[in-house]
Amino acid sequence: MTKQRVLTGITTTGTPHLGNYVGAIRPAIAASKDDNTLSFYFLADFHALIKSTDPDLVHQSTREIAATWLALGLDIEQAVFYRQSDIPEIPELCWMLNCMAAKGLMNRAHAYKAAVAINDEAKQDPDYGINMGLFSYPVLMAADILMFNAHKVPVGKDQIQHVEMARDIAQKFNHIYGESFVLPEAVIEGDLAVLQGLDGRKMSKSYGNTIPLFLPEKKLKKHINKIKTNLLEPGDAKDPETSTVFQIWKAFANADQLSYMQEEFANGIAWGEAKKQLFELINNQIAEPRERYESLMSEQGYIESVLQAGAKKARGFAQPTLEKLRHAVGIRPLR
């Protein structure tokens, strides 16, 4: 039986936070342990260039994200863990796919449309500030996915459309050049997987409401203390459903801890106390990986060597695939 291939990329423009952990990293690492799947997880540093022109940010984020996944126990024997820019087959495939992707399809991509809408709003030229990287971003993403013939692509809701575009582009290629690609499917991270941030909105770097995953203990405590609550006093019953403290608790608690806190809310636990317990719950789970993270971050050569080994493994899949694709499109030795 051929293994189901699961693939996802992480854009290297930020520091991993609790929302990334709960929504993406934790489920991905768990899924990679399944013997019936082969997981491809990669650092999307070419994608980072679309969003950021700060070289130090992109570089630092690449280190932080790699160290985070390793510290949390990603098994690099079982999964294929690599950096997008180490795989030259990806931009080459990207070009072939550019020649398959309808411009009209790209016109409909959310990220591009949102940028145009902002320009319209500001009465600017619709193309103002929009580079070709942003416009053709879904094609690069399609190359990431199709390069490894991924069956399943776990993504946030905002990325579903991109996976569908990858499917469209694959279908067109298959139609013109013959069966070449698996048609990928998006797997949507469940609602529970969307963690609330300090202000109660979805935890996201763009809202500035995140709690970084591997903060030093004291800072973690400080951040947790900043989670927005209401004016209810100790002794007042509190509603777990509308409480960010409770929602975050839920993402880290087992069944017993969950019903325990539910009861505490009904009994009117003080906000300060609930936050203290939330800190302890999270801290207990991340103390060990945090230590590993810190030592990985101080041993830079090690991360680089892990990524080099991952690139070798990934190219073991990509090279023969690209060879066939070149042949399919007529780029062949003249013998």
Supply the minimum distance, in Å, between the C-beta of residue 183 and ligand TRP: 14
CB closer to ligand TRP, 15 vs 225: 15
Supply the minimum distance, in Å, between the C-beta of residue 221 and ligand TRP: 29
Residues 109-121 as b or e (16 or more Cβ within 10 Å = b): bebbeebbeeeee
Please state, in angstroms and rounded to a whole number, the distance separating the CA atoms of residues 139 and 93. Answer: 10
CB closer to ligand TRP, 15 vs 262: 15
Supply the minimum distance, in Å, between the C-beta of residue 11 and ligand TRP: 4
Supply the minimum distance, in Å, between the C-beta of residue 71 and ligand TRP: 21
Q: Are 7 and 145 in contact (CB under 8 A)?
A: yes
- Which amino acid, 104? G
Supply the minimum distance, in Å, between the C-beta of residue 268 and ligand TRP: 40
Supply the minimum distance, in Å, between the C-beta of residue 186 and ligand TRP: 9
CB closer to ligand TRP, 155 vs 296: 155
Supply the minimum distance, in Å, between the C-beta of residue 55 and ligand TRP: 19
CB closer to ligand TRP, 137 vs 249: 137
Please state, in angstroms and rounded to a whole number, the distance separating the CA atoms of residues 299 and 301. Answer: 6
**Strand stretches in the chain, DSSP E:** 4-11, 37-44, 80-83, 152-155, 185-188
Q: How many CB atoms lie within 10 A of CB 206?
A: 8
C-alpha triplet 187, 191, 195: angle, nearest 5°: 115
CB closer to ligand TRP, 45 vs 264: 45
CB closer to ligand TRP, 44 vs 318: 44
Binding site for ligand TRP (CB under 6 A): 7-9, 11, 44, 47, 141, 144-145, 153, 155, 159
- Residue at shortest CB range from ligand TRP: 9
Q: How many CB atoms lie within 10 A of CB 208?
A: 9
Q: Under 8 Å CB-to-CB from 121, ≥6 apart: which residues?
A: none
Supply the minimum distance, in Å, between the C-beta of residue 46 and ligand TRP: 8
Please state, in angstroms and rounded to a whole number, the distance separating the CA atoms of residues 200 and 249. Answer: 13
CB closer to ligand TRP, 159 vs 180: 159
State the DSSP code for 178: -
Total residue count of the chain as it appears in this document: 335
Supply the minimum distance, in Å, between the C-beta of residue 9 and ligand TRP: 3
Q: In 3D, which of 314, 275, 294 has the Cα closest to residue 147? A: 314
CB closer to ligand TRP, 94 vs 224: 94
Q: Is 196 helix (H, G, I), strand (E, B) or coil?
A: strand
CB closer to ligand TRP, 62 vs 243: 62
Residue 183, both tokens: 């048609």
Side by side, the strands of the sheet bearing 185-188 are 80-83, 37-44, 4-11, 152-155, 185-188
